[in-house]
Amino acid sequence: MSNKRYFFHGDQSENGDDTFYCRKCDTFSDEEHFKTHDEKTHSFQLNQSYEIFLRKPKKERCRPSDALNLLENMSHHKSQ
Ligand SMILES: [Zn+2]
Protein backbone atom coordinates (compact mmCIF):
# COMPACT_ATOMS: atom_id res chain seq x y z
CA MET A 1 0.00 0.00 0.00
CA SER A 2 1.41 3.34 -0.94
CA ASN A 3 0.80 6.39 1.14
CA LYS A 4 -1.63 8.78 -0.35
CA ARG A 5 -0.79 12.45 -0.20
CA TYR A 6 -2.76 14.03 2.62
CA PHE A 7 -4.50 17.28 1.77
CA PHE A 8 -5.41 19.93 4.29
CA HIS A 9 -8.49 22.01 3.66
CA GLY A 10 -7.20 24.67 1.25
CA ASP A 11 -4.11 22.79 0.07
CA GLN A 12 -3.15 23.35 -3.55
CA SER A 13 -3.57 20.38 -5.85
CA GLU A 14 -0.47 18.56 -7.05
CA ASN A 15 -1.33 19.08 -10.70
CA GLY A 16 0.11 22.55 -10.48
CA ASP A 17 -3.19 24.06 -11.51
CA ASP A 18 -4.85 26.72 -9.42
CA THR A 19 -7.25 24.47 -7.60
CA PHE A 20 -7.32 23.83 -3.88
CA TYR A 21 -8.78 21.04 -1.79
CA CYS A 22 -12.10 21.82 -0.15
CA ARG A 23 -12.48 19.37 2.70
CA LYS A 24 -16.09 20.30 3.25
CA CYS A 25 -17.06 19.38 -0.30
CA ASP A 26 -14.29 16.77 -0.72
CA THR A 27 -13.27 18.23 -4.05
CA PHE A 28 -10.67 20.45 -5.70
CA SER A 29 -11.96 23.88 -6.58
CA ASP A 30 -10.68 27.27 -7.60
CA GLU A 31 -10.15 30.16 -5.23
CA GLU A 32 -13.61 31.56 -5.96
CA HIS A 33 -15.21 28.46 -4.52
CA PHE A 34 -13.72 29.13 -1.10
CA LYS A 35 -15.57 32.41 -0.87
CA THR A 36 -18.82 30.45 -0.77
CA HIS A 37 -17.92 29.16 2.71
CA ASP A 38 -17.65 31.41 5.73
CA GLU A 39 -14.59 31.82 7.96
CA LYS A 40 -15.96 29.52 10.64
CA THR A 41 -16.24 26.72 8.12
CA HIS A 42 -12.70 27.30 6.95
CA SER A 43 -11.14 27.33 10.40
CA PHE A 44 -13.16 24.30 11.44
CA GLN A 45 -12.10 22.33 8.39
CA LEU A 46 -8.49 23.45 8.71
CA ASN A 47 -8.36 22.51 12.39
CA GLN A 48 -9.83 19.11 11.59
CA SER A 49 -7.22 18.66 8.88
CA TYR A 50 -4.43 19.30 11.40
CA GLU A 51 -5.91 17.14 14.12
CA ILE A 52 -6.42 14.11 11.92
CA PHE A 53 -3.02 14.60 10.35
CA LEU A 54 -1.22 14.77 13.70
CA ARG A 55 -3.03 11.69 14.95
CA LYS A 56 -1.53 9.66 12.13
CA PRO A 57 1.65 7.66 12.61
CA LYS A 58 4.60 9.73 11.44
CA LYS A 59 5.27 7.59 8.38
CA GLU A 60 1.74 8.16 7.15
CA ARG A 61 1.95 11.92 7.39
CA CYS A 62 2.29 12.29 3.70
CA ARG A 63 2.25 16.03 3.15
CA PRO A 64 5.19 18.21 2.10
CA SER A 65 6.09 20.76 4.77
CA ASP A 66 6.14 23.47 2.13
CA ALA A 67 2.70 22.60 0.80
CA LEU A 68 0.94 25.68 -0.45
CA ASN A 69 -2.27 26.39 1.38
CA LEU A 70 -4.75 29.01 0.37
CA LEU A 71 -6.19 29.51 3.84
CA GLU A 72 -3.12 29.32 6.04
CA ASN A 73 -1.98 32.58 4.55
CA MET A 74 -5.31 34.15 5.33
CA SER A 75 -5.43 33.07 8.98
CA HIS A 76 -1.85 34.10 9.73
CA HIS A 77 -2.51 37.61 8.64
CA LYS A 78 -5.78 37.99 10.41
CA SER A 79 -5.70 40.42 13.29
CA GLN A 80 -8.92 39.35 14.97
ZN1 LIG B 1 -16.47 23.68 -0.63
For residue 59, give every residue at least 6 positions away whose Cβ sits within 8 Å of its Cβ, in sequence order, or none. Answer: 3
CA 14/CA 36 separation, integer angstroms: 23
According to the model, what pLDDT value does residue 72 have?
79
From ligand 1's centre to the CA of 58, what distance in Å? Answer: 28
20 C-alpha vs ligand 1 centroid, how far in Å?
10
pLDDT for the residue 65: 87
pLDDT, tens digit only, all 80 positions of the chain: 557 899 999 999 998 889 999 999 999 999 999 999 999 999 999 999 999 999 999 999 999 989 999 997 665 544 44
The residue extents of the domains of the chain are: 1-71
